[in-house]
Amino acid sequence: MVSTPDTTPTLPPRIAVIFPGQGSQVVGMTAELAELYPEIQDTFAEASEALGEDLWAICQNEEKLNQTQYTQPALLTASIAIWRILQDKLDKAPHYLAGHSLGEYSALCASGVISLKDAVQLVHKRGQLMQEAVADIDTAMAAVLGLEDQRVETLCEQATEHVEGAVVGAANFNSPGQVVVSGNAVGVSAVIDKVQNTGKKAIPLKVSVPSHCALMQPASNALAEALAAIKFEQPTIPVIQNRHAQVETNIQDIKKALTEQLSEPVLWSKTMQELADKHINILIECGSGNVLSNLAKRQANPIASYPVDKPARMEKLMEVLS
């Protein structure tokens, strides 16, 4: 039997680079890449000088790495270090960038909107503001699995209305059937009970602050002041922002979206759909771990996603692109 060669046309790559957020940090992140690429240590040195903290040392210290004000600049630095490696390896710039929560700052830095120096100082401040906003409040977050987005929102509304003192809302729409809720402990506990009554799962998350909920409003107001003092440039690559899952081009609109993002939900499923609608067929996860690549598999229109935080993963991407 004579075999017929495969003549299926291969679509040219349309690439988006996505940047992970808080929760993707691991002790020793980027250490393997640092053995091969001087960009890693160079970037960490640059960011550490800007912050006045040894971010590389912080990445080796689990207790300090998991403190929000250090987690955020450490993750951003890791993402930008890997981004600098990618820039040398890609034939041309990606079509789009996007970042999950904190990762949005990495995306804007990669697009030239904000310098690395300003970015690490800003997210360090952001982490401090988030901690201060809930310093005297017992808070929580939980991942709700198996329920539609609207159903989770309804359960949050019911908890807020009927449980005394409850503050809770949908924080991250990560993928169909996965929504993270955020608020005070009373509110999140009430939602967990309601979810379990439906027969579905709600898993408490280990976090130090409840991101993207009404409790972050004081931090959002203070962040707006910090953003006003920083010079932003026009993006060199379009960035799809979390607030409305769309590209903002006006500098004031970019800053406004960042400000509101702190107390409003991350529309990640909608962001992924937007990339699918723009015919993106390859995602590169630029940062620590593969959280976003795993989420990409669960979207309504999945896009192949490749993490590049280790040499073997970087090599795999290069094989795919070649």
Closest CA to 184 of 151, 162, 209, 202: 209
Alpha carbon separation from 217 to 163, 254, 283 (Å, rounded): 21, 18, 32
Query: In sequence order, which residues have a C-beta less than 8 Å from that of residue 45 and are 6 or more positions away?
Result: 56
Contact 16, 238 (CB under 8 A): no
| β partners of residue 247 | 240
Alpha carbons 101 and 263: distance in angstroms, whole number = 11
User: Which residue among 24, 101, 220, 263 is the active-site one?
Assistant: 101
Determine the residue type at 87.
Q
| 100 counts as catalytic | no
DSSP code of residue 216? G
Alpha carbons 164 and 247: distance in angstroms, whole number = 39
| 244 counts as catalytic | no
User: Which residue among 212, 288, 293, 305 is the active-site one?
Assistant: 212
Instruction: Compute φ and ψ for 212, nearest 5 degrees.
Output: 55, 45
Determine the residue type at 166.
A
Contact 146, 200 (CB under 8 A): yes
Torsion sign across C-alpha atoms 294, 295, 297, 298 = positive
DSSP string, 206-236: --SS--SSGGGHHHHHHHHHHHHTS-----S
Q: Annotated catalytic sites, by residue? A: 101, 212
